[in-house]
Amino acid sequence: MSKNIINVAVAGATGYVGLDLVYLLSKHPNIKISSLCAQKNIGRKINSFDKRIKAKLPNITNLKSVNWDNIDLLFLSLPNGEAQKLIKKLYDKYSNLKFIDLSADFRLEKKSEYEKTYNLTHRAKNLIDKSVYSISELKKEKLNNIRIISNPGCYPTSVQIPLIPLLKKKLIYTKNITIDSKSGYSGAGKNYRSKFNHKNFYSSTYAYGVINHRHVAEIDQEFKKISKNIEFTFNPHLIPAFRGILSSIYVYKKDKTTINKIVNALKKFYKKDTFIRIQKVNSQIGTGNVIGTNNCDISVCKTRCKNKIVIFCAIDNLIKGASGQAIQNMNLIYKLRQTLGLQ
């Protein structure tokens, strides 16, 4: 790696997340995009998939033709189960190569939990311990010696950013937490139609994963690091919009805590974090102000029930919930300004 330039490859460059990642990386001052990989469309130009990409970039290749000696960092924006196989192949052979995995392959610390949740055998179980799960704002320790960063899921990002500081500070009760999340259909990737039974994607709202959505295991794992007694329900919905997540999170505040105290605790916790924008008490928010950005808007509101409050959190699932957070994590690993390439 030359002093300031990081040579990157993107596996899964033609997916919904991959294209946002390539677009953002193409504008990052410290990045040289050396390889863009997919399974299909080999030889095609990346901007034929996304007209926003103006930089001159390599055409799509398959993973076999990448010269890994020239790559410092590989982003993996592949379906669950694929990143682990590729990282396993490369990890020992290319000891300077780092990985940021945007799939779920390294999010769960227990292999058995991964296999139960994703119904897949984990092919790189020895590497799970070597990876670190990182929501950038919550991962303050040094990441520069870590070779595998596991980027969080989109829904879990929208849930943990508002709740973790409040649970840590014991400002809310750990029981009866109701998480009602809505996502644009890009959350299911470019083959979204094959993943759902309902037909009217563009004119209906659809509740799915009602018993146990896959992201529950991830949220549960991270909550358990704060307290074993946290109980929540989580219901995701697909809405007729392409991108954006709004999570509405109903919690009970402690008797002696005021709503202003909750807002101030969040402001204090995130005071150095440009992307986290805590709004005034009772503000109405939505995905409209965060789409196309790495921002995360949070609003804490009263309800009619004593001590029950609702916290709204809005992010762009493809950016703060995936590609933007991956770049934020990259900036952390390479000790670059957290906002570089993201503003």
Query: Could you tell me the end-to-end alpha-carbon distance of the chain, in angstroms, rounded to an integer?
Result: 25
Q: Which residues are catalytic?
A: 154
CB of 275: closest distance to ligand NAP in angstroms? 16
215-224 and 111-118 helices, crossing angle to 10° = 150
Surface-to-core class of residue 89, CB atoms within 10 Å of its CB (0-12 exposed, 13-18 middle, 19+ buried): middle
Q: Which is nearer to ligand NAP, 143 or 322 (CB)?
A: 322
How many CA atoms lie less than 13 Å away from 190 in the CB half-sphere? 13
Going 118 to 123 to 126 to 127, the CA torsion angle's sign is negative
Side-chain half-sphere CA neighbours of 163 within 13 A: 31
For residue 223, CA distances in Å to 157, 164, 177, 281 come to 12, 7, 12, 25
Q: Decide whether 80 or 338 has the Cβ nearer to ligand NAP.
A: 80
Residue 148 C-beta: closest distance to ligand NAP, Å: 15
**Which CB sits closer to ligand NAP, 14 or 299?**
14
What is the nearest approach in angstroms of ligand NAP to the Cβ of residue 46?
Answer: 11
Q: How far is the CB of 157 from ligand NAP (least distance, A)?
A: 8
Q: Judge whether 151 and 101 are in contact, CB under 8 Å.
A: yes
- Is the CB of 9 or the CB of 249 nearer to ligand NAP? 9
Separation between Cα atoms, residue 271 and residue 181, nearest integer Å: 25
Question: What's the min distance (Å) between Cβ of 338 and ligand NAP?
Answer: 19
**Nearest distance in Å: CB 11, ligand NAP:** 6
**Spatial contact of 10 and 95, defined as CB atoms under 8 Å apart:** no
CA distance 182 to 242: 11
Nearer to ligand NAP by Cβ, of 80 and 221: the residue is 80
Q: What is the DSSP string of 60-110?
A: EE-GGG--GGG-SEEEE---TTHHHHHHHHHHTT-TT-EEEE-SSTTT-SS
Is residue 159 within 8 Å of residue 248, measured between CB atoms? Answer: no
Q: Which residue is nearest to ligand NAP (CB)?
A: 15
Cα 226–chain centre separation: 20
Instruction: Give whichever of 6 and 60 is closer to ligand NAP, judged by the CB atom.
Output: 60
Q: In angstroms, give the least distance from the CB of 103 to ligand NAP.
A: 3
Report the side by side order of strands in the sheet with 131-133.
60-61, 31-37, 6-11, 73-76, 98-101, 148-150, 131-133
Residues that bind ligand NAP (CB under 6 A): 11-18, 38-41, 63, 77-80, 82, 102-103, 153-154, 186-187, 189-191, 317-318, 321-322
Is residue 328 within 8 A of residue 16, CB to CB? The reply is no
Rounded to the nearest 5 degrees, what angle is found at the Cα of 3, between the Cα atoms of 129 and 293?
Answer: 65
